[in-house]
Chain A
């Protein structure tokens, strides 16, 4: 694998990941902007509008037909919160020319042109987006936001984050809110889009068995030529959560209670993020972890029990699906595990196992095409470039004191419980 980074214009970067491990080429365009109450909803809606039509392919149907023609090129778009940023992600994946039964058009070139067409050349009417599309997608977006309750475990996690970051950017739902949708129309949305495209950070990733011509294809592309230089407006730091929030209980018709505990810690430098990764693995990140072993295997309180580390926010979230009457028992048991970590009650074996399992996940980064892109994008946003080999070395060097240091910084901020 060979990684090259090029600045196309100020604020617009091209990342080329040359690898022969895959049968496909994957092209991604990420638009990164500040997560803000005023723009979170329109931005989410923009991503839905863009896939409806371009000035060349005017309907969804035409776009779908074009993609099918390209041997089922898959187009995908999504919205993510990465730290205090909102990221609009667009992907197109096509099979590499080596696997096409008969040589036709240059698949990579066509797919690059298509994704740029979708992102940078949307169908417009007068001074706005097509009204019909905006009206439909507003309705769909409303459904989507309300549809949050359909996945109870995911909903509980989102709600815990919301409580923890009340009135702060990270507390915003990535698709925005229903009320803000009402004031959006085809004209003001198009203005928001123009502003976004002019000011956001743009990253273009191309991964696959590709040659040097790809850089020219991009530089010569009309849609790219039209883009202005910019001082990209995005957040490189992020706000801390509110002080201790305490316990929040919410009622909904559920069979099983969903418990989420939000933990916060103050991190001084990049190395401490690596320590936290290992700390989290020992606490709740694997089948060997304290939480999985004690809450599930020993106490039989849960089937799903674990924790994850959100490195952009330096939070750990502990998730558990439990019998509603076992709430206190589960909370106490989890708190005891956090205390255990503080009191140096973890074995060398637990530490080594955690390091090994993290190293294993690092080693497979370049075996997965989308993971590889996300890895480099994360580095781009945090401005911390480290090769996979150095990353592994960092983990290998972690010692007990490093973990203890983290254990003593961890604080429970919010305990959220969804029950009937």
Chain B
């Protein structure tokens, strides 16, 4: 296995790319009792139009299939449910679906190999019937209704509607009651056979292991598979401009919630460049609207906001945007003051003392992510599907300078790319 050592966080990544293309990443953590395994496929709610390898016709599947598939993977032919089996082993098992990947995972202290048997078995052996697919519609229907009562989820989704014309990031990961009603076992098998090929997957394990030995155990449990060849995914053309600057919805909330979005475009750069850009945006967000910024102080002292403002940079291979969220009596005022402050930064440049302090802050926060076995594994998997090696974050912070920050500020923080979504 290839060993990548990071002297800053003092951790090692053991990396092996199997012949079929699937990477296995092991981060040993000696002394920890907790062990964590996560197996993901590069397939999420955004992958709705594609060509099945070996065929030549484009197909479009209903919204919410990736998530539906995730729920159904646990069902076994012998009538058992793998979630129950894993729980019986005393392990904490779960799964999740994002817009670019789906992952199956468990955390345990004992029975690691037994749990790995079960997880690798159910992910490699789907069993869908008309009956079990129908039954799941009731459960997922309730999950969709649960999200309907989350104003913070709605305010996020509406921000996507305001930014994107066609990009599937604007659809809800879980789909709607209407779209999931169209899902049947044939659709599920088609998506499974296309995207759950090992060449499209990645596995990460973290805990007290001998990497080489663990690798052998994983290989034993992998079914021999033919590589599918490249999956052609079709994403609709997305204009660079936004759809609408403001979007509003009424719900029962104590005080208006807002999300400000800045539409960016995905970059095809290599991993290190992606990390640098991500870090630069995070530093800018801290400088402009972070806890120690002038704007935050003004907003707080004037009573326009209370509590925090969350800034985040979200991106995958098919989209990129910045989000700033919080609660305020007057979200439009926050939006105006934010736009103004961006102009001030463009006009006045960046104070180097503040810049260095924020770099220290981010550095410490990235080191802190190496405390927990599950955080580490989850981070390496999600970053992998973006084309990133997670270690690069602590490595690259030092390489970011003010000139680069100003370039990113001018390129991305553009007023005509900003939207605001409000729930009141």
Contact = CB atoms under 8 A, between A and B. Distances in A.
A353 B135 contact: no
B230 interface: no
Given A72-B361, A256-B149, A287 B83 contact: yes
A360 B371 contact: no
Given A136-B301, A302-B139, A367-B34, A256 B145 contact: yes
B33 to A, nearest CB: 5
Contacts of A148: 254
Contact of B254 (A65, A149, A367): A149
Interface in A206-246: none
A389 B140 CA distance: 40
B8 interface: yes
Contacts of A360: 90-92, 108-110
Interface string A87-103: 00000011100110100
Contact of A149 (B9, B107, B142, B253): B253
Contacts of A21: 31-32
Interface string B127-163: 0000000011111101101101111100000000000
B306 A287 contact: no
Given A143-B254, A360-B108, A367-B373, A353 B90 contact: yes
A150 B146 contact: no
A61 B365 contact: no
A24 B292 contact: no
Given A23-B367, A255-B149, A150 B253 contact: yes
B368 A95 contact: yes
B336 interface: no
Contacts of B357: 65, 68-69
A377 B265 CA distance: 48
B223 interface: no
Given A300-B135, A360-B109, A363-B109, A139 B292 contact: no
A192 interface: no
Contacts of B32: 21, 367
B310 interface: no
A93 B372 CA distance: 14
Given A23-B367, A349-B88, A146 B254 contact: yes
A296 B146 CA distance: 14
Contacts of A95: 364, 367-368
* B10, B138, B152, B364 pick with most chain A CB within 10 angstroms: B364
A357 interface: yes
Given A21-B31, A152-B149, A68 B360 contact: yes
B251 interface: yes
Interface string A295-306: 011001111100
A321 interface: yes
A23 B11 CA distance: 11
Contact of B300 (A60, A70, A71, A74): A60
B252 A253 contact: yes
A93 B368 contact: yes
Interface size class of B (residues with CB under 8 A): 35 or more
B255 interface: yes
Contacts of A38: none
Contacts of A152: 149
A287 B142 contact: no
Contacts of B292: 61, 64-65, 68
A310 interface: no
B88 A140 contact: no
Given A22-B371, A252-B252, A68 B90 contact: no
Interface in B1-47: 8-10, 31-34
B297 interface: yes
A139 B303 contact: yes
B370 interface: yes
B81 interface: yes
Contacts of A68: 291-292, 357-358, 360-361
A178 to B, nearest CB: 11
Contact of B307 (A93, A140, A256, A368): A140
Contacts of B87: 286-288, 353, 357
A352 to B, nearest CB: 8
B35 to A, nearest CB: 10
Nearest to B71: A303
A322 interface: yes
Given A98-B10, A143-B254, A304-B146, A287 B84 contact: yes
Contact of A369 (B8, B255, B361, B371): B371
B97 interface: no
Given A20-B31, A357-B90, A363-B33, A139 B306 contact: yes
Contact of A301 (B81, B110, B138, B360): B138
B197 to A, nearest CB: 28
B362 interface: yes
B370 A23 contact: yes
B307 to A, nearest CB: 7
A374 interface: no
A171 to B, nearest CB: 21
A100 B390 CA distance: 19
Given A72-B364, A136-B301, A147-B327, A288 B291 contact: no
B360 A143 contact: no
Contacts of A153: 146, 149
B142 A288 contact: no
A248 interface: no
A82 B108 CA distance: 28
B252 A149 contact: yes
Given A149-B253, A303-B142, A369-B371, 14 more contacts: A70-B360, A74-B368, A95-B367, A99-B367, A255-B145, A256-B146, A300-B138, A304-B142, A360-B91, A360-B92, A363-B110, A364-B33, A367-B32, A368-B372
6 contacts: A61-B297, A71-B363, A99-B367, A136-B303, A356-B89, A367-B373
Interface pairs A-B: 8 shortest CB-CB: A300-B138, A71-B364, A356-B90, A72-B361, A72-B364, A303-B143, A64-B292, A140-B306
